[in-house]
Amino acid sequence: MIHHAMKVIFPIALALALPSAFAANTPPRNETTIVLDENAVKNLGIETVEAEESAFDRTLFALGEVEHTSQSHSVLSSRAAGRIAEVFFHEGDFVTKGDVIARVESRQAGNPPPVIELKAPASGLVTESQAHLGAPVEPDATLMKILDLSTVWVIAKISQNDASILKEGLTAKIRVPAIGNKELTAKFLHLGVGADAQMATIDAVFALPNPNNELRPGMRTELSLIASQRNAVLSIPREALQGDRSNRFVFIKDYEIANTFVRVPVVTGDQNRERVEITSGLYPGDEVVIQGAYALSFAGKGSVSLKEALDAAHGHPHNEDGTEMTKEQIAAAKGHEAHNHSRSPLVTSLSITCALLFIAVLAMAYIIRNRLKA
């Protein structure tokens, strides 16, 4: 409670103590405020979320590739020589341990010759096959290669400077573009057998479950590793942040005027794939624009003037820059308006008089010209 009160009191006290500094550094409200009507808000598709204090993960990013595990290999072979009589599975098929893959007609004597069934030694994907109908079979020759892909490895290239964060059981969030925007979770197993001295990287091996067999060796991956975590960090979604590195800003929903948004400069800290830390410029509960923020950057001052919006909201007049009019300003404005109204009949009378004089001059000129001709 005390902390919250200090957050409210301190800015007020500072503003009272240093009014000239605030006046010099803070632009007029009308230059940072965009007032829209309800239709404009809908057309821009504006959506907001609250800035919040929560646990914040500092993450490292890395690229990687899906690989099969070292235990995933199995092969199909025949103990007896013969000829392929039937084939039930081919390259690209998934097999289950015990499935009859092919039948081999043995070279042993018999009428008909004995037939040997070749069964899958393990479940997995058939990646290579030499089992073609009618092909000869030699004892112990490899007919098929099968890969168990129920769990795959992701081999990531990690900077050697960051390798110290790799601990057994460390989790990584992984995206594989080939299967869409799914977010998968993998666990760190161990480092690779060697390092790349030229690129200053080292291989990190992560185990990734693959229950639906969607993943294939060679698929590219994007990894996000949690390097550290801090609590009570004020952060916002990354899509809310606008501007370049030297001029970061966000748009927040105005506290008092509907359909109104204020451009606020911010200072950022760490960021991860989803959120960015805000170290200055926002308070918890500020509603930041996430959808339509880019369009607001080009909306100018909006479709309604700030003065009109404030006058309607508060019921008393304001200046164009958004400040409240003082008693002196209100009196001066009324005097100016009254002066304009009082001067208006006089201006009208003078205009009519001038018009009549002009007509009289034309008439006199016409009469004089006719007399001279006579």
More confident residue, 27 or 142: 142
Cα of 341 vs its chain's centroid, Å? 57
Class of domain 73-147: mainly beta
* Rounded Cα distance, 102 and 93, in Å: 13
Per DSSP, the three-state class of 257 is: coil
Query: Strand 115-119 relative to strand 124-129: parallel, antiparallel, unpaired?
Result: unpaired
Q: Which of 97-101, 165-169, 299-303, 335-339 has the highest mean pLDDT?
A: 97-101
What pLDDT shows up at residue 232? 92
Cα of 3 vs its chain's centroid, Å? 32
Tell which residue, 111, 109, 99, 55, has the closest CA to residue 74. Answer: 99
Kindly state the tokens that stand for 153. Answer: 């490895």
CA atoms within 13 A on the CB side of 38: 0
- 300: burial class by Cβ within 10 Å (0-12, 13-18, 19+)? exposed
What values do phi and psi take at 365, rounded to 5?
-65, -40
* Rounded Cα distance, 6 and 12, in Å: 10
Asked if 186 contacts 141 with a C-beta cutoff of 8 angstroms, the reply is: no
Tell which residue, 168, 178, 169, 172, has the closest CA to residue 156. Answer: 172
Per DSSP, the three-state class of 199 is: coil
CA atoms within 13 A on the CB side of 190: 5
Q: Do domains 60-69+150-230 and 73-147 have the same CATH topology?
A: no
Query: Of 70-74, 90-94, 367-371, where does mean pLDDT reach its minimum?
Result: 367-371
21 pLDDT exceeds 60?
A: no
Mean pLDDT of the region 52-71: 89
Mean pLDDT of the region 89-113: 91
> What's the mean per-residue pLDDT of the chain?
82
Q: What is the DSSP letter of 111?
A: S
- Partners of residue 175 on adjacent β-strands: 222
Helices (H), ranges, 62-162: none
Helix (H) or strand (E) holding 3: helix 2-17
| Residue 336 identity | H
Task: Assign 3 a pLDDT band (cuts: 50, 70, 90).
Answer: very low
64 CB contacts (<8 Å, ≥6 apart)? 154, 155, 156, 157, 174, 206, 220, 221, 222, 223
- Would you list the domain boundaries of the chain? 60-69+150-230, 73-147, 328-374
Kindly state the tokens that stand for 102. Answer: 């092919």
285 CB contacts (<8 Å, ≥6 apart)? 50, 51, 52
23 pLDDT exceeds 80?
A: no
What pLDDT shows up at residue 231? 92
CA atoms within 13 A on the CB side of 171: 6
347-350 — which CB contacts under 8 Å span 24+ positions?
none
340 pLDDT exceeds 70?
A: no
For residue range 195-218, what is the model confidence (pLDDT) as tens digits? 888 889 999 999 999 998 999 999
Tell me the pTM.
Answer: 0.55
283 pLDDT exceeds 70?
A: yes
Kindly state the tokens that stand for 355. Answer: 């018009």
What pLDDT shows up at residue 8? 44
Does the domain made of 60-69+150-230 have the CATH classification 2.40.30.170?
Answer: yes
